[in-house]
């Protein structure tokens, strides 16, 4: 895109949507905590009288996480389906929520803010931008991490796919964020690391896209060309400051 066209584009923006994991937040022990979460579930299932291999639990969770167009709303409904896939049927409501908490706890504990994230968000708010998060996650695995890192206060809306029954790259979840912020597509930027769920999803709506080239998705090829690419979150200031 030519410089003049980009300058004309960014001067009209009023809001910015961010992805959560690997964009605002990173996990220094990402691969390790994936296994820790599964082993937490495995130990709880043993207490309940079920012996399940870690590889089986991992496979079921991965399959469910990548299922498209799920009609389930709520983390409890998702984990009931996961337990059903593991042939675990004899448990009560307390057991269910303990399993959910045991799975998500390592992710919350390991979450770290991207370098410069707090300064960036503070700057954007001071300039009058409306800020939101659109994430393929459960709010119970996201909001506590944002709160403990001091980032939650910057956002006008935080939308988690598990809570609303829509997930990126589907247009409905982006449209819900726009509705909450009372913004139009052309007034909003989407910032994310995933070339499909973040960039292609927002691009298909006509939203300006900024791809962060960090984290496990950085080597993934573009599905559509992002309007901008940045190596650090702080680089976003240069984009929104064009005049």
Record: fold of 30-110: DNA polymerase; domain 1 (1.10.150)
**CATH 3.40.50.1000 domain position(s) in the chain:** 3-26+113-240
Listed in sequence order, the DSSP H helices in 127-181 are: 139-148, 161-164, 171-181
Number of other residues whose CB lies within 10 A of the CB of residue 13: 18
* DSSP structural state of residue 229: E
**Could you tell me the fold of the domain covering 3-26+113-240?**
Rossmann fold (3.40.50)
**Taking Cα atoms as reference points, which of 157, 165, 219 lies closest to residue 194?**
219
* pLDDT (mean) for 70-94: 88
List, in sequence order, the alpha helices (H) in 48-86.
54-65, 75-85
Q: How confident is the model at residue 242 (pLDDT cuts 50, 70, 90)?
A: low
What are the pLDDT digits (tens) for 127-150? 999 999 999 999 999 999 999 999
Q: Where do the CATH 1.10.150 domains begin and end in the chain? A: 30-110
**pTM to 2 decimals?**
0.90
Percent share of the chain, pLDDT over 90:
84
CA distance 18 to 25: 10
Q: Which pLDDT score, from 0 to 100, does residue 243 have?
A: 36
Q: Is the N-terminal amide bond of 223 cis, ω within 30° of 0? A: no
CB 195 within 8 A of CB 22: no
Give the span between the Cα atoms of 135 and 127, in whole angstroms.
24
Q: Return the pLDDT at 6.
A: 52
Contact 111/135 with Cβ under 8 angstroms? no
What is the distance, to the nearest Å, from the Cα of residue 81 to the centroid of all Cα atoms in its chain? 21
Q: Which residue has the higher pLDDT, 204 or 70?
A: 204
d(CA 123, CA 154): 10
Q: State pLDDT tens for residues 151-163.
A: 999 999 999 999 9
Answer for the pair 193, 212: CB distance below 8 angstroms, yes or no. Answer: yes
Residue 139 is classified by DSSP as H
């Amino acid at each position: 895109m030519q410089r003049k066209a980009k300058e004309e584009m960014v001067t009209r923006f009023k809001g910015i949507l961010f992805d959560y994991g690997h964009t605002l937040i990173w996990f220094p022990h990402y691969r390790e905590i994936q296994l820790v979460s599964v082993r937490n579930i495995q130990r709880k299932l043993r207490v309940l009288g079920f012996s399940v291999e870690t590889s089986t639990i991992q496979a079921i969770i991965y399959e469910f996480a990548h299922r498209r167009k799920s009609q389930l709303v709520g983390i409890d409904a998702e984990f009931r389906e996961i337990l059903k896939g593991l042939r675990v049927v004899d448990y009560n409501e307390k057991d269910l929520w303990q399993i959910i908490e045991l799975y998500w706890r390592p992710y919350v504990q390991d979450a770290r803010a991207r370098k410069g994230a707090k300064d960036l968000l503070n700057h954007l708010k001071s300039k009058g931008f409306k800020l939101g998060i659109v994430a393929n996650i459960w709010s119970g695995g996201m909001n506590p991490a944002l709160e403990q890192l001091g980032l939650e206060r910057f956002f006008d809306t935080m939308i988690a796919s598990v809570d609303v029954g829509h997930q990126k790259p589907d247009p409905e979840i982006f449209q819900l964020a726009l509705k909450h912020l009372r913004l139009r597509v052309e007034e909003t930027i989407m910032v994310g690391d995933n070339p499909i769920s973040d960039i292609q999803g927002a691009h298909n709506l006509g939203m300006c896209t900024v791809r962060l080239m960090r984290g496990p998705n950085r080597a993934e090829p573009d599905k559509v060309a992002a309007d901008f690419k940045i190596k650090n979150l702080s680089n976003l200031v240069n984009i929104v400051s064009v005049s």
